[in-house]
Amino acid sequence: MLNLLEPKTVEECRERDGHRKEERASRIDEALLRPKLGHQSGEPIVDGYQYGDYPSREDLSQPIWRGFLCDLFSHYLVDSYEDAAKELTEAGEMQHRKWVDALQTASDLFNLDTDALFEEGEPPEEDRLTKILGSKPADAVISAENPTLCGQMYGLGMGIAGINEILSHHDENSTEEIVRDSLKRGGLIEGDVTETVDRSKSMSHQEYDTRLGGTTVELDDGDEIKRRAKEANNITVR
């Protein structure tokens, strides 16, 4: 297991200053390169095609695109005509609706069983975070605010952008700034924490302590010195 306390590991992490490691386990790149739904969002989800090869709305009903539509509809990321339209265009709401109508028209023309196709795709057995870490982490620790989780991903060779991309699928509040701050708290990146939001107001002390990977200790009410240490070290004092 990766030892984030080892001086050599810490030094290497600090030298990267948030960037990815050039040589890292292939499973990380495989996880990051998994297709994502959305036009120009990552790699195209239809095998053998680049975004520039995708058909126009007017071309969808041409017989040459029947196989393409079958592959698109049967992808595990596509569950509806709306999803398919998201992959084919970045158009706004009004134009998006026209794409949906064109897809329905083409499907009817080709006599496609779209309900069956939408159910056909099989997603990978492991989610991306599990694949990267090698095991499934507990739900309670999956947060961009957790220095332990972010540090483990960073130590494995991921950069801040990649960590945020993965965690944003589990934590809607994840940002690159929060990930960087977590790595600073863990001592793997130098610099002062820049986050200004008081997150303790939106969650209980117990939850805040868990997400940050902190420790809870019992102290006498009158111990002011140790109470000040609480604020500096993320220790909840009761």
pLDDT digits (tens, 9 = 90+) for 188-233: 999 988 855 445 433 444 454 444 444 444 444 445 544 554 454 4
Q: Which residues contact 41 (CB under 8 A, 6 or more apart)?
A: none
Determine the pLDDT at residue 126.
79
Q: Give the model confidence (pLDDT) of 113-144 as tens digits.
A: 999 999 998 888 778 999 999 999 999 999 99
Q: What is the pTM of this model?
A: 0.60
Determine the pLDDT at residue 98.
96
Q: What is each CA distance from 171 to 37, 151, 180, 213, in whole angstroms? A: 18, 16, 15, 16
Instruction: For residue 91, name the pLDDT band (cuts at 50, 70, 90).
Output: confident
Angle of CA points 94, 95, 97, to nearest 5°: 70
Instruction: For residue 35, name the pLDDT band (cuts at 50, 70, 90).
Output: confident
Compute the Cα dihedral for 90, 51, 44, 173 and give only its sign. negative
Determine the pLDDT at residue 74.
96
Q: What mean pLDDT is predicted for residues 88-94?
A: 91
**What 3 state SS string does 127-168 have?**
CHHHHHHCCCCCHHHCCCCCHHHHHHHHHCCCCHHHHHHHHC
